[in-house]
Amino acid sequence: MRLVLLGPPGAGKGTLAGSLKDSLTIEHISMGDILREEMKNNTALGKQAKMYIDRGELLPDEVVTKIIEQKLKKPISGQCGFLLDGFPRTVQQAKDLDAILRKIKNPLDYVLYLKATLPVIIQRLTGRRVCRNCGAVFHATNRPPKKPGICNECGGPLYQRADDNEETIRTRMDVYTHSTQPIIEYYESQDKLLPLDADKESEYLAVMLNEKFNENG
Ligand code: AMP
């Protein structure tokens, strides 16, 4: 199964991806996670990424497309496909992705479009806590860890992303509206779009999608 997760910041892409990657045995490729790892390691790419991420802006298309191309050319053995989370984010990236997938003869199956309302988005983003060690996502009230500040999965420390503050969230929403939303039409015209009500909890969506994908074989 080859999937793209599309939706505004805070729609629950990362949380849903966490459930689907195991049940569908697919590789979860999160552009945000890749960039944050580079930032943690203080690489040249990490330093460049930080400037954009701190402002809530998008990195140049060529930079992120190159990263995805390298990932897709080297699939992890034992995985039955991939789930792209946070890529593509512009129509140009979507076109470049199609070209890469044509080259490796593996077209997308579905684009999961998570639709969420603004109050839900703000509540999710301001309460989001992420494990510094393994990247697992929690929420201060919706999905609290068993021990405050500690990851259930690996015992690592939880932190609040620097770009999850109100001012940067506003910029990220504007960027989403202007740069990312036009992709919806692009995939609609390819008949690949699967709209989902992301105000619902990701556990519910994961069960529904697993049923759908298993039915289709
Ligand atoms: P995310 O973790 O998906 O919310 O991404 C965090 C930040 O990483 C975004 O606000 C952008 O600054 C950057 N980023 C992630 N994916 C992309 C992309 N496909 N194109 C450009 N910038 C990206």
pLDDT tens figures, 65-75: 999 999 998 87
In a domain, 192, yes or no: yes
Residue 77, pLDDT score? 80
Residue 129, pLDDT score? 95
Pocket test of ligand 1: the residue of 48, 53, 165 to mutate, having most ligand atoms within 8 Å of its CB, is 53
**Mean predicted confidence (pLDDT) in 174-181:** 96
Q: Which residues line ligand 1 (CB under 6 A)?
A: 9, 31-32, 35, 52-53, 56-59, 64, 86-87, 89, 93, 163, 172
**Mean predicted confidence (pLDDT) in 77-95:** 94
Whole-model pTM: value is 0.92
In a domain, 129, yes or no: no
Residue 149, pLDDT score? 96
**Residue having the nearest C-alpha atom to atom 19 of ligand 1:** 87
Return the minimum-mean-pLDDT range out of 91-100, 106-115, 131-140. Answer: 131-140
The mean of the pLDDT values for the chain is 93
Residue 213, pLDDT score? 87
Percent of the chain with pLDDT over 70: 99
Length of the chain: 217
In a domain, 123, yes or no: no
Residue 84 belongs to what domain range?
Answer: 2-117+177-215
Distance (Å, whole) CA 67 – CA 18: 21
Distance (Å, whole) CA 13 – CA 4: 10
DSSP-assigned letters across all residues of 73-108: HSPPTT---EEEES---SHHHHHHHHHHHHHTT---
Percent of the chain with pLDDT over 90: 81
φ, ψ at 128 (rounded to 5°)? -70, 135
Question: Atom of ligand 1 at shortest distance to CA of 93?
Answer: 19
Structure tokens, 123: 């509540």
Measured CA angle at 126 (ends 123, 140), to 5 deg: 85
C-beta of residue 205 within 8 angstroms of C-beta of residue 93: no
Q: What CATH number does residue 181 fall under? A: 3.40.50.300
Residue 11, pLDDT score? 93
Number of domains composing the chain: 1
Question: Which residues fall within 8 angstroms of residue 101, CB to CB, at 6 or more apart?
Answer: 2, 72, 107, 108
Give the pLDDT band (50/70/90) at residue 216.
low
Give pLDDT tens digits for 23-61.
999 999 999 999 999 999 999 999 999 999 999 999 999
In a domain, 56, yes or no: yes
In a domain, 208, yes or no: yes
C-beta of residue 190 within 8 angstroms of C-beta of residue 95: no
**Mean predicted confidence (pLDDT) in 81-96:** 97
Residue 217, pLDDT score? 59
